[in-house]
Amino acid sequence: MTYCVAACLDAGMVFLADSRTNAGVDQVSTFRKLRVFERPGDRMLALMTSGNLAISQAIVALLAQRGTEDPRSLWNAVSMQDAAQCVGDAVRTVHARDSQALKEQGIDFNVSLILGGQIGQAPCQLFQVYAAGNFIATSPESPYLQIGESKYGKPIVDRVLHTQISLDEAAKCLLISMDSTLRSNISVGTPLDLLVYERDTLRVTRFACLDENSQYLAMIHSTWGERLRQVFSEIPDPRWITPETPAAQDGAPLRFAQLHQPVRISAGGADAAHAAPTAHQILAQGATRSQAH
């Protein structure tokens, strides 16, 4: 399903994408997900995609077809906001052309894109474009975006990323986020495209394609894991205190107090249990309310 993540920082921007695509476990391929629209000295835009591959490729192809003579093209966008609108319009064009046929096959118009970059003197901006063609932008409080298999790699980014960190630290953070995802989900795989954009350079200065031969990626993989296990072993284990044991003086014991009891189901059977609610009862009680999960 892919995993792409990008951050917009004071010092610039970082983009990281995997390249695994699958149409089931017996059809796994490699397709690059990060594309660059660069006019050195004028603009640097990076686009990453996830979701249905045919849809995302169609959108990128449409954007690629629109050259410098086309007013709707990314080459003529006057601002990043305008550029995001261009991408959104391309999404809608593909939707208008293809969604009905997909629906007839029972397939959702499933695509998400990340667009980021800088045009001229304006600040860097980072957007997520939805399947409906509209989009959101990052903010200093929420300076990163993820698409695809985002959950495995979210905790580390939530813990360490903020707008003041350096570009290299951000790259390291996103690589660790990707490593956690690679380890836990087989629909995400190398090679990885890493683009580190230095603010106001308006060109690609730092790009790397990382595969299983990449020393840095291997170092992240082994070192992060080892250090995590080391930190884990150094954190105090829980200490169970029974009513008979005096409270320990150190650490933070887990108290097994008598007032802590699990919810116990008694062996009494029907007498002890409340009547099982049925769907009809629930619907009668609140048919217009959502079901709780």
Q: Which of residues 182-241 bind a second copy (CB under 8 A)?
A: 183-185, 187, 193-196, 204, 206-210, 214-216, 218-220, 223-225, 227-229, 231-240
Per the listing, tokens 């031969």 go with: 213
Q: 71, 243, 246, 277: which one contacts a second copy (CB under 8 A)?
A: 277
- What b/e string do you get for 35-72 counting C-beta neighbours within 10 Å, with b at 16 or more? ebbeeeeebbbbbbbbbbbebbebbbebbeebeeeeee
Least separation in angstroms between CB 19 and a second copy: 10
Cβ contact 24:204 at 8 Å: no
Q: 10, 53, 92, 130: which one contacts a second copy (CB under 8 A)?
A: 53
Would you say 50 or 128 has its CB closer to a second copy?
Answer: 50
Which parts of 253-272 interact with a second copy (CB under 8 A)? 253-256, 260-272
Task: Indicate whether 140 belongs to the interface with a second copy (CB under 8 A).
Answer: no
Task: Find, among 147, 174, 178, the residue nearest to 161 by Cα.
Answer: 174
Least separation in angstroms between CB 216 and a second copy: 5
Q: Which two tokens stand for residue 130?
A: 């939805």
Q: Which two tokens stand for residue 172?
A: 């390291």
Least separation in angstroms between CB 13 and a second copy: 13
Whole-number Å distance between alpha carbons of 160 and 289: 39
Least separation in angstroms between CB 122 and a second copy: 19
Least separation in angstroms between CB 7 and a second copy: 14
Q: 114, 176, 178, 202: which one contacts a second copy (CB under 8 A)?
A: 176
Which parts of 11-40 interact with a second copy (CB under 8 A)? 21-24, 27, 29, 31-32, 34-39
Determine the interface stretch with a second copy among 78-86, 113-121, 123-131, 282-290 (rule: CB under 8 A): 282-290
Cα dihedral value 290, 132, 29, 145, nearest 10: -80
Determine the interface stretch with a second copy among 4-12, 116-124, 131-139, 179-187 (rule: CB under 8 A): 179-187
Count of residues near a second copy by CB under 8 A: 136
Least separation in angstroms between CB 21 and a second copy: 5
Whole-number Å distance between alpha carbons of 189 and 20: 5
Task: Indicate whether 289 belongs to the interface with a second copy (CB under 8 A).
Answer: yes
Q: 5, 52, 83, 86: which one contacts a second copy (CB under 8 A)?
A: 52
Q: Which two tokens stand for residue 143?
A: 């300076």
Whole-number Å distance between alpha carbons of 209 and 203: 17
Least separation in angstroms between CB 74 and a second copy: 8
Reading across the β-sheet that carries 144-148, which strands appear in turn?
A: 144-148, 3-9, 12-17, 192-198, 206-210
Q: Which two tokens stand for residue 262?
A: 């699990």
Task: Find, among 263, 208, 199, the residue nearest to 10 by Cα.
Answer: 199
Q: 92, 102, 137, 163: which one contacts a second copy (CB under 8 A)?
A: 102
Cβ contact 36:48 at 8 Å: no
Task: Indicate whether 284 belongs to the interface with a second copy (CB under 8 A).
Answer: no
